[in-house]
Amino acid sequence: MLNKKFLTMGFISTAAALSLLYSTSLFATVPQEPTKEASRLQALAKFTKVLGIVEKYNVDDITLQELIDKSLQGLMTNLDAHSTFLTKKSFENLKVQTDGEFGGLGITVGMKDGVLTVIAPIEGTPADKAGLKAEDIILKINNKSTLNMTIDDAVSLMRGKVGTPIDITIVRKSEAKPLHIHIVRGNIKIQSVYTKQIDNDILYIRVTSFDKKVVDGVKRALNRFKKKDKGIILDLRNNPGGLLDQAVGLVDLFVDKGVIVSQKGRTKSENQVYNATSSATITKMPIVVLINGGSASASEIVTGALQDHKRAVIVGKKSFGKGSVQVVLPISEDEAIKLTIARYYLPSGRTIQAVGITPDIEVDQGEVKTQGTNEFMIKEADLKEHLKKELQKDSGKVVKKDTKKESKDHIITQEQLQKDLQLKEAVGIIKALIITKG
């Protein structure tokens, strides 16, 4: 059919028609696709060409080394919100943070919906005292816009010499206008585990971040109070995460078998499963876990694992949703890349990444609203013939109990519960679980 077409054209010679027929047939039967290696060379050639053009014609004089660094930063930040190229300065900052003591504000930040967001302020730090909250969006740092700023650049700006001031401009959902917050940098030392008592039979454990001391700290508290207490409230609100092994170890104290968390990456070597062990389990007491929008990463692993094993009731607000694994890979003596290599999955197979943990019982943060005092209500004591002796006996016991002040710093009072609606709800739930367990 093709030959007939060529013959009827008139202005194409037979030789030309045969030549075109041969070429057409060749390409139709054996497509000439570039090899993988050839594609890599073409891509690198394109990259080199663009670098050369920018270096030669860009309005500002810029060195090739600067261009390479900017290219690497753009490459890493476009992979995902947590991957980044660490220059010499940012790599040094990361090492300082790992040492656990530095001058700064005391907040953990991340990229959420493309904007720089406070994951959580660290308890007792300058940022916490100044009023920064989880989910605050940081617009400016010392009047410098955070638009298109990397996390590491933002951290570098916020970290500095102890005692020096810094101004942060934030957007908060509950506020109509941006807020300007003045903070003086402090020496950031993190105490990761706090314990207190509620009503003599409930152990309150607050974990602020997952450093290397968390499992030991919680284990000591459990061993100290397990004969006395009947229930546990584990407070992971505003906990930005930390070390994976500490998250796994914490769950292992409460769960005696089954998967705690698994991670899956592109290569099989990155796939791992972390299981609970009966030898590490300390207690079977009922647990309530408190979370909010500042609970991220390791704290979400703990919460999700306890929820999937039906080992705890989760109370509060939906968590942040960071379920990815990053590693720092040096590329020279003073530079490195931080690369996302895997995602975390909970025992049920569900992911945390960009989804977060939804509480079993959602409770807003705030104070407990009361209907006023009982000043004008008639009680038994107001009746003419009430049992005075019994009342005196009981009131004597109450007075005696209130005069004990030694352990006041280690208890959570009713007044404090009234100021924390989520914690008060948690106390009510744990009491119900204690009664149910008998």
pLDDT at 49 > cutoff 60: yes
Range with the poorest average pLDDT among 52-61, 139-148, 375-384: 375-384
Query: Does 414 score more than 60 pLDDT?
Result: yes
**Residue 20 — very low, low, confident or very high, per pLDDT cuts 50/70/90?**
very low
392 or 278, higher pLDDT: 278
3-state secondary structure 298-322: HHHHHHHHHHHCCCEEEEECCCCCC
> Tell me, what's the pLDDT at 392?
56
How is residue 29 written in tokens?
């039967």
> Distance between CA atoms of 362 and 315, rounded to whole angstroms?
6
- How many Å is the Cα radius of gyration of the chain? 31
Provide the pLDDT for residue 12: 41
Select from 306, 293, 432 the least CA-distant residue to 360. 306
pLDDT tens, 263-272? 999 888 889 9
Catalytically active residues, by annotation: 297, 308, 322
Q: Which pLDDT band holds residue 32 (cuts at 50, 70, 90)?
A: low
> Residue ranges per domain, the chain?
102-189, 193-362
| Banded model confidence at residue 437, pLDDT cuts 50, 70, 90 | confident
426 has pLDDT over 50: yes
The alpha carbon of residue 103 and the mean position of all alpha carbons in its chain are separated, in whole angstroms, by 22
Mean pLDDT of 96-109: 73
Mean pLDDT (the chain) is 84
Would you identify the CATH topology of the domain 193-362? Answer: 2-enoyl-CoA Hydratase; Chain A, domain 1 (3.90.226)
Rounded Cα–Cα distance for residues 251 and 306 (Å): 7
The model's confidence at residue 187, banded by pLDDT at 50, 70 and 90, is confident
Band of residue 137 on the pLDDT scale cut at 50, 70, 90: very high
Domains 102-189 and 193-362 share a fold: no
Rounded Cα distance, 299 and 242, in Å: 8
* pLDDT bucket at 5, cuts 50 / 70 / 90: very low
Class of domain 102-189: mainly beta
Q: Using one digit for the tens of pLDDT, what is the confidence trace for 283-337?
A: 999 999 999 999 999 999 999 999 999 999 999 999 999 999 888 899 998 999 9
Mean pLDDT calculated for residue range 135-144: 94
Per-residue pLDDT of 340-352, as tens digits, reads: 999 999 999 999 9
Per-residue pLDDT, averaged over 223-247, amounts to 92
Instruction: Decide if 297 contacts 417 (C-beta within 8 A).
Output: no
Q: Where are the beta strands (DSSP E) in 83-192?
A: 84-86, 101-104, 107-112, 115-121, 137-141, 144-145, 165-171, 179-184, 186-189
Of 121, 84, 115, 124, give the one whose Cα is nearest residue 328.
84
- Does residue 32 sit in helix, strand or coil? coil
Predicted confidence at residue 387, as pLDDT, reads 56
Inform me whether the pLDDT recorded for 403 exceeds 80. Answer: no
User: What is the pLDDT, as a whole number, of residue 3?
Assistant: 40
C-alpha 234/C-alpha 305 separation (Å) is: 14
Predicted confidence (pLDDT) at residue 22 exceeds the cutoff of 80: no
